Each structure stands twice: as structure tokens, then as C-alpha cells.
Structure 1
Amino acid sequence: MSSKRHSMLPPVSSGPKPPVQFSSSIVIADSAVLTGTHPITIHSESVVHPRARLDSLAGRVTIGRRCVVHERATVGAVGASGRVTEAAVTLADYVTVEVGAAVEAGDTFIGEGTVVGVGAKVGAGAVIGKHCTLTPHTEIAAGEVVPDFTVVYSNGMRRTDKRGVAELKNKGLARQIDVLRRIIPSNPAKFA
């Protein structure tokens, strides 16, 4: 058995290096993966966790203010068809994309305060309204429109969230971001 073992393996290529525009107040983990050819913009106080993937191969990726993209989540994924067309992805302010979730490229829009749950998938060209909740493992079809304040369950059931807690959720997310700033080592210069 070789004594060099895994230390001599070549680095894994993550694809082309995209042009980036970052606010000075973001937190982006060194092990996040940014790839593609179109611009990736991340606005103030947003957090990109380790092993999160932002892919701008199909089009621009824009992440709003105070968003959180968790581990193994993908924003800008190429859809199941495998076709790469000129198509953007936009996350409005206060959006959370949880662990293992995927938001496909295709002029896809996620509205302010929306939570994309663990392992959920948002198809290309979907438009998700403000303050929606996509529960874990929910699938939103390509091109589907989800109205504001909708809770979508993985079994396809839906309801309107009438609790009126949007402002409280935003304040809670801001507190979470304050904690993440202290525990996730950030290295935006790596991606410039």
C-alpha cells in the first residue's frame, strides 16, 4: 500500500469560476462551491454554508439580503432535462434554502421570507410567493406558481398561512445569521 495515500489525489474541479459580486457583510464558507459562467451576486448579511453549491452555468444567480443557503443545498441547478438555457435564479430577501434542497435555474424566483425545506426541489421557472413554506421533500413543478403565504406539504396538500408571523420569522432569521457569523469561518476572497 502506498504511503502517499489520499494526500496526492488531484483536486476535484468544480467547473468554471463565475464572476462574483459580494456585499462586504456576507458569510461564505471556504468549502462552498461556486461554479458557472454568469454572475453570482450575494447581498448584505447573507450566509452560504459549507458545501452549499451556487451554480450560474444556466444564468445569473442573485441572493438577496439576509438569506441562508444551508449545507448541500444547490441554487441554480440545471433541471432534469439537462438543457442549459439562459435562465436566472433569484432569491429575494430573508429566504432560507435548507439542507439538501435544490432550486433549479430557469427564471426561477423565490419570494421574500420563504423557506425551502430540507430536501425540497423547486423546478425550473417556478415562482414562489412571499412568506411561503415548502416542507421537507416537497417538489414544486417546473413553471408552477405558488401564491404568497402558502404552506406546501410533501404529499401535495396546501394551505394558506394565516398566522401573521412574517415579521417574527424575519427577526428570528436575523438572530440566526448573527450566530452563524460567529461559527462559520468566512472566506469571500477565495471566490473573487
Structure 2
Amino acid sequence: MSSKRHSILPPVSSSGPKAPVSFSSSITIADSAILTGTSLITISSESVVHPRAKLDSLAGRVTIGRRCVVHERTTLGAIGTTGKVTEHAVTLGDYVTVEVGASIEAGNTIIGEGTTVGVACKIGAGAVIGKNCTLTPHSEIAAGETIPDNTVVYSNGLRRPDRRGVADLRNKGQTRQIDVLRRMIPSNPAKFTA
């Protein structure tokens, strides 16, 4: 006797209160993104939030700048070891990319304009990452650490200045990527505002 098993993924559910939001009319946010918390989540114009990305404002506000891309399985606003509630939990400057599986802890954590946070990176509470930085996959930034503008951080802890001068090219590439993502990701901002 043959037995067929069908695996059905459970629906995405938030594990907390529904967060208050302020969205630009031009954002793209997947229906399966998770927005939870008690503080305001702000997403600025032309930014993209992928499916299964989690924005958690329980520890404070989450602010995403213009033309940012937040990939799947990322967590913005994770409560770190301090567990403190702050006015600004996480702030992403304009043109920031947070790649798959990255975690950015809450605590006045700031990611500067044009920075790329690589796959599975971990940024501790209160860290300040400068403008146009590149964190390679699996990099870790300690809580409260400051990374200067135009720095490349490697997963083994090494750092070097980035003298390529490609910020304008990176921003143009980000704009093209966003145009493609807007066509690929079904967006449903109304789900989070109702």
C-alpha cells in the first residue's frame, strides 16, 4: 500500500503585537514579511522588503531609508543582550542592502548610506557602520563598535579601507535592482497598515 505525504508550510505569523507603520507609497513589501512590535516602523520611498524578512520594533523604532533592499530571512531590530528599549532601535541610511540571513540588533544601531551588509552578518546593538562600507558574508560587528566610512570588513575580522570609489556605480546598480524586484515581488503594503 502506497502512502503519499504532502508537506505544507505553515503560514507566516508574527510573534508579537502588530507594529504601527509609516510607508511611502512607492515601497515594495512582500505579503509574507513580518512586522511586529510597539514602536513605529518607517520605510522610505522605493525600498524593497523581501518575503520572510522580519522588522521588529519591540525595542524601538525601525527606520529604513530610500532605495534600500532588505532580503529574506533578515532580522532588523532583534533584541540583543542589553534588552533595552531605545528611541531608535535600527536606522538604515539610503541605498543600504541587507542580504539574506543578516541580523541587526536593536539599540540605536545605525547603518550608513550605501553600505552592504553581507549574507548572515551579525551586527550588535549600538554599532555604528559608516557610509559606503562592505561587510562580507558572516562578518560580525560587536555591540557598540564603530566602523569608519568606506571600510571593508571581512568575516575573519580583518578590515581595510575601500578606495575603489564606486559609491555612485553601486547606487545606480541598486536602483536597477529595485526596478527588477518591484516587478518580481508581489507587494501588499495594505496588509500592514489596516
TM over 0.5: yes
How many aligned residue pairs are there? 186
The AA in structure 2 aligned to 1:65 is R
Separation in 1, partners of 2:153, 2:84: 28
Task: Structure 1: state its 5+ residue gaps.
Answer: none
Percentage identity across aligned positions? 75
The SS at the match of 1:88 is: strand
d(CA) in 2 for partners of 1:63, 1:10: 26
**For the structure 1 residues 53 and 12, does the alpha-carbon distance in structure 2 shift closer, same or farther, using more than 3 Å as the test?**
closer
* C-alpha separation in 1, matches of 2:12 and 2:135: 35
Q: Which amino acid aligns with 1:85?
A: V
Specify the alignment match of 1:67 in structure 2: 68
Output the amino acid matched with 1:100.
G
What RMSD, in angstroms, separates the aligned Cα atoms of the two structures?
A: 1.7
Shift of 1:69: 0.3
Q: Is the 8 A contact 1:77 1:103 kept in 2?
A: yes
Q: Does residue 176 of structure 1 match 2:167?
A: no
What is the match of residue 3 of structure 2?
none
* Matches of 1:34 and 1:165, distance apart in 2: 33
Misfit runs of 4+, over 6 Å: none
Structure 2 residues not aligned, in runs of 5+: 1-5
Q: Structure 2-normalised TM-score?
A: 0.92
| Aligned match of 1:46 | 47
Report the Cα offset of residue 189 of structure 1.
0.2
Q: Please say if residues 57 and 84 of structure 1, whose CA atoms lie closer than 8 Å, have aligned partners that are also in contact.
A: no
TM-score (norm: length of structure 1):
0.93
Structure 2 residue aligned with 1:111:
112
Inter-CA distance 11–104: structure 2 relative to 1 (3 Å threshold)? closer
Note the alpha carbon deviations across 1:33-86, whole angstroms, 9 max, x for none: 00000000000000000000000000000000000000000111111x262422
Change (3 A) 1:69 1:10: closer
